[in-house]
Amino acid sequence: MMRIGLFLLTNLAVLVVAGLILSLLGVGSYRSAGGLDLKNLMVFCLVFGMVGSIISLFLSKWMALKTTGTELIDPNAPRNQAEVWLLQEVAQLSQRAGIKMPDVGIFPSYQSNAFATGWNKNDALVAVSTGLLERMNKDELRAVIAHEIGHVANGDMVTLSLIQGVVNAFVMFFARVVGDYIDRNVFGREEGEAPGLAFIGITIVLDIVFGILASAIVMWFSRYREYRADEAGARLAGKQAMIDALLRLQEESQMPDQMPKEMKAFAIAEGKEQGFSLAALFQTHPSIEQRVEALQRLNLH
């Protein structure tokens, strides 16, 4: 119920904010007597595409806390030695990466995992699972934390949100342009006639089809940023420690994936490993083998 409520709340915010922006821009409709007004349509799609991504970005820390059950560590009153160690490591690694120390949290999950999120690199959240704390040694833990700090320092959350927003805008734009063409030339809608159920149905189908195809672009960037975060982890915590941490994650790859769907792209591990296939184009993470190979080729000075 919590996730459904957050989904509805986010979409309501998108509708309200996007509607307000379109009103201020004077964009009431993207249709004219002659068909589509392409200029207004592009503005309409950009506003809805970007507003959704930007709102999700600004709510990312709050939503991560709610969906994963992460409990923040009070930096002034850590409750045990594990929390003291976590705070010290995050503080040191953040300083080395040149960013403000993120909030630090622990979320309940037997699966070894961690994530970072936040709307900018100086207001972020880094969280680790209870399973990670229980089963990784300190060198491996430090490498995982460094990987997440790398995501924050690289500004990956912002970049991914912007790419998602642009992709969403183009999906909406081309779905309506192609839908209008099909409605006029296949279903015989007359010039100046208002679009009917055929246009609506075609557009919905094209939104889904184009959205699936376009998600391959977003997932490609998600995989690319994992390599960059691995490199950052190696530079901050040591190349071998980063490799060892990934291999430890690989050992647990057959465990059920407990990370909420909306947080998968921000976690260090995606879950069960799978070989090359068409589905690999839509994975948020490269395979552990590919990541380890990339690290082994990395020449650190």
Which carries the bigger pLDDT value, residue 93 or residue 266? 93
pLDDT at 256: 56
pLDDT at 187: 80
pLDDT at 39: 87
pLDDT at 225: 94
Residue 121 has pLDDT above 70, yes or no: yes
Residue 273 has pLDDT above 50, yes or no: no
Cα distance between residue 137 and residue 90, in whole Å? 16
Residue 272 has pLDDT above 60, yes or no: no
Give me Rg for the CA atoms of the chain. Answer: 22
Residue positions annotated with a catalytic role: 148
**Mind listing the pLDDT tens digit for each residue in 132-175?**
999 999 999 999 999 999 999 999 999 999 999 999 999 999 99
Residue 29 has pLDDT above 90, yes or no: no
**Mind listing the pLDDT tens digit for each residue in 8-22?**
666 677 777 777 787
Residue 45 has pLDDT above 70, yes or no: yes
Residue found under tokens 């909030």:
103
Mean of per-residue pLDDT scores for the chain: 86
Cα distance between residue 232 and residue 220, in whole Å? 19
pLDDT at 232: 95
pLDDT at 205: 94
Least confident of 75-84, 231-240, 268-277: 268-277
> Residue 27 — pLDDT band, cuts 50, 70, 90?
confident
pLDDT at 207: 93
How many residues in total does the chain contain?
301
Q: Read off the pLDDT of each residue in 268-287 and give the average, rounded to a whole number.
A: 68
Q: Kindly state the helix (H) or strand (E) to which residue 114 belongs, with its residue range.
A: strand 114-118
Cα distance between residue 279 and residue 273, in whole Å? 12
Which carries the bigger pLDDT value, residue 57 or residue 265? 57
Share of residues in the chain with pLDDT > 90 (%): 56
Q: How far is CA 179 from CA 31, 49, 132, 190, 199, in A?
A: 13, 18, 48, 14, 6
Residue found under tokens 């592009």:
42
Which carries the bigger pLDDT value, residue 192 or residue 205? 205
Least confident of 39-43, 94-98, 234-238: 39-43
Chain centroid to CA 120: how far? 14
> Residue 199 — pLDDT band, cuts 50, 70, 90?
confident
Q: Read off the pLDDT of each residue in 78-103 and give the average, rounded to a whole number.
A: 95
Query: Which tokens is 112 given?
Result: 């070894």
